[in-house]
Every structure is written in C-alpha cells, then in structure tokens.
Amino acid sequence: MGVSARALATIAALTSVVVLAAACSSNDDSAKPKWTGNDSSAGGPSASASPAELPKAAFAAPTDGANNVSTATELSLQADPGSNAQVTLTDASGAAVAGGVSADGKSWIPGSQLKYGTQYTATVTSAGDTAGKKVSFTTMAKPGKTVNVSTAVADNKTYGVGLPIVVRFGSSVPSEMRAAVEKRLIVTATPPQVGTWYWFNGGEVHYRPKDYWQSGTKINVRLAVGGLQLTKTGWGSKDVTSTFSIGDKIVMTTDDKTHQMTVEQNGQVIKTMPVSLGKAKTPSSSGNMVVMDKNESELFVGTDPDDPYRETVYWTQRMTSGGEYIHSAPWSVGDQGKRNVSHGCTNVSESNAKYLYNLTKIGDVVIVKNTTRKLAWANGWTDWDKPWDEYVKGSALPPPAAEVIPSTSTSAVPSASASA
C-alpha cells in the first residue's frame, strides 16, 4: 500500500501516510537489511547478534494502570534500533485491536478509535525480551461536549486530479492544538505521493499533493479524531473514513486574450470552444481553480440592485465560493469568442456546456488566464493557486520529505479493513 506524502507526517511528525514496501531478498548477507518488520513490528535484529546483545522495547505511554486515556491514544514505544518490537492490544473481553507501528517506529497506532470507558491491555515483545512487557489502561468516559468533523469527499467516488481533501471542524481548533490534530489526519495513497495539509483557519484544513494526483490513484482517508481533544473543551465525536479514486486528468484552460477554452484529457487537447467571461464591471478571476460542485440546473439571482437578474441556468460547474461558474449561456452565444458580457462566469453555448458537464468530475482542474482580477485566496478550493514551497507553510507540522520514503511496517492503517 502506498502512503500519501504526508503520511509520513501523521505518524512521523510530518503529516501522515504510511507505505507498505515489498520485502527484498538477496543471497548476499551484507546486502540484507538489518531489520524488516511486519504488521506490528518496529524492526528486527541482526541474525548474528548474541542473546545478551539483542535490543529491547518497552512502552513509554500510557503507563500501567493509567485512567482517562484518550480513545485516540497511540502507544508510545521506547525501542532500541533493531528491536523488532511486536505489539498486541486487546480489550477487556480479550478481543484483539488491529493497528500497526508508525513509520518512525516510535509508536503503535490502533486502526480504529478505541471504545470509551474500556480497559485495554497492551503487550510489546522484542528480540531481547520475548516474554514481553505489559501495560493495562482504561480509556476516558464519553465526553460531555463533542466536536463534529466532516470531509467533502465521499466513499467509492471518482474525483479529478486537482481535488483537495477538505476537512471541516464544528468548532475552531486553536493554533496551538493544530499540530496534534494534524498528526491524526491520515491520508494513504496508492501509488504514494508527497502531500501536506494547509490550515485555512481553525475550522477548515485542506490536503493536496505536491503535484496533481496521478490518474488511477486510490486514496484512503482516516480522520482519526474520535476522542481526540480538538478545542479547550471539546473532543472529536468519532473517526471519519473515506475511500475514493482519481480519474482521468481533465484540465480546462481559458484565456481571456483569445476568448477560448482549451480542454485537455490526459495531456491531449480534445476540444476548443469559444467563451465569454466577466465584463469590465464584474471581471472573472484569473488563477488555478477546480470544479467544486456540479448541477444540471441552478437558479442564479443577482445581488447588485443596479444590475439585477434572476435566471435558471443549466449545466453548471462551480469554480469559486463567490459564485463563478462554467455554465450554459444561450443568450451570449453571439458574444462568445469575441467579447466579455457575463457577471464573472464562463459563458459557453448549451451544447458545449452539456459536453463539459458530461466530461468532468469534481476536482477537475480549471485555469483562467489574463483577466483583470486575480483569484482571491480561499475563494473556493484555491489550493493550487499557491506554489508548493508556499503551500507547505500552511501546515502545523514540519514540511514533508521531498520524496515518499518506503516503510517496512503497516503502521497507522487508515482503517482496520485497509488492504495492501
């Protein structure tokens, strides 16, 4: 399984993603890795080490007998390099809890939220301690105030290559708590791709890869916030998971100098069409956008008393929160390709609007160039309107590694059902 760029972060201190790497083999002992690991391991010792030299592992937290432990807890490990730490976690009934060691080997992360008010027993064995160390702890009671956490992505859907993963919180997360929260926002992509989170404000954080998602990518999102403290007085109500795919690369580029839109699919131009953009009083925004929403029809109502309108518009694709769309505009066909007459939207003919509507997906890329207005940051899903070196500054964690580094453990699986 691959990890999305920040996957190394959720666990490692970047943002989060864990990758499963295939084990390599060699007849040359000197070429063999010093440790390998498995679903619950943090590395293994050299085969030539003597018993007295074998490294050990233990739990740093929670402590034995701890109470009121968060249901979003991670089991912190003190593991010598090559200890091959193996962790098991069971509830009071003896039922095993799925999970895995983090990419940095410093913690073991349950694959789903723990139960409230429940006693758990964790055991860690290692090369130097096959009998293992045990700790028992009891999770917190269900908190009185919970905070809802949601994402705009839905299960089993196919999205465009520019899709940001948008997460919203019912209450604003204070800046000093965002790093702890961000570590629990786990994005796993197959194939793995570097990515990061960006906090637009305390109530909304987005995730995007360094470059557009690769077509065919499978993405698993786990917002592991159930029982995690999100505000001074509120805890996450539950974990949120979603699994979806990335489809063909569709890019719609409109140039106000030519009044033309060029449509590309997987790098090939498949159509060019005339457009009419915003007139001088209501110019269209130039910038990098994505399709945020689509509807066969919507009622558009003007808010300027000096320029009122009320019109049912068809084959709409929203690009900004402020109300810029691509849509059918049969009334401006004579102007399309020649001059700008809209209120900021991209006007196309009815046939072209329907063609685009049937082609595109939420998350497909929209680029508008050479208008008199620059796209305002946060006016919709503007994630691609900042270069990567600026975008990473919006994270509460250090920047991710430039490349995804394979891990030999399954750690922090987004859900217990995740498959390799």
- pTM for this predicted structure: 0.83
Catalytic residue among 24, 206, 259, 327: 327
Specify the pLDDT at position 218.
98
Question: CA 76, 69, 113, 5: dihedral to nearest 10 degrees?
Answer: -40
Q: Tell me if residue 343 is catalytic.
A: no
The 3-state DSSP class for residue 373 equals strand
Per 3-state DSSP, what percentage of the chain is helix, strand, and coil (rounded to 5)? 10, 40, 50
**Distance, CA of 279 to CA of 294 (rounded, Å):** 24
pLDDT of residue 31: 39
User: How much is the pLDDT for 354?
Assistant: 98
Q: Which CATH number applies to 250-360?
A: 2.40.440.10
Beta bridge partners of 241: 222
User: Rounded to an integer, what distance in angstroms lies between the CA atom of residue 384 and that of residue 289?
Assistant: 7
What does the pLDDT read at residue 103? 72
- Beta-bridged to residue 153, according to DSSP, are none
pLDDT at 5: 38
Q: Compute CA distances 340 → 90, 152, 161, 316, 367, whole Å.
A: 66, 33, 29, 18, 17
Query: Which two tokens mark 125?
Result: 């064995």
Q: Are 384 and 208 in contact (CB under 8 A)?
A: yes
Predicted confidence at residue 9, as pLDDT, reads 39
Catalytic residue among 24, 206, 259, 345: 345
Report how far residue 6's alpha carbon sits from residue 140's, in angstroms, rounded to the nearest whole number.
Answer: 29
Contact in structure between 77 and 58 (CB atoms under 8 Å): yes
Single-letter residue type at 7? A
Which residue in 272, 211, 257 sits closest to 368, CA to CA? 257
- Cα–Cα distance measured from residue 254 to residue 348, given in angstroms and rounded to the nearest whole number: 11
Residue count of the chain: 420
Q: Are 193 and 404 in contact (CB under 8 A)?
A: yes
Q: Is 259 a catalytic residue?
A: no
Q: Tens place of pLDDT for every residue, the chain, 420 residues?
A: 344 434 433 333 333 333 323 333 334 444 333 333 344 455 555 555 555 578 999 999 999 999 999 999 999 999 888 888 899 999 999 999 999 988 778 899 999 999 999 999 999 999 999 889 999 999 999 999 999 999 999 999 999 999 999 999 999 999 999 999 999 999 999 999 999 999 999 999 999 999 999 999 999 999 999 999 999 999 999 999 999 999 999 999 999 999 999 999 999 999 999 999 999 999 999 999 999 999 999 988 877 777 777 889 999 999 999 999 999 999 999 999 999 999 999 999 999 999 999 999 999 999 999 999 999 999 999 999 999 999 999 999 999 987 765 433 333 343 333 322
pLDDT tens track for 242-288: 999 999 999 999 999 999 999 999 999 999 999 999 999 999 999 99
pLDDT score recorded for residue 28: 44
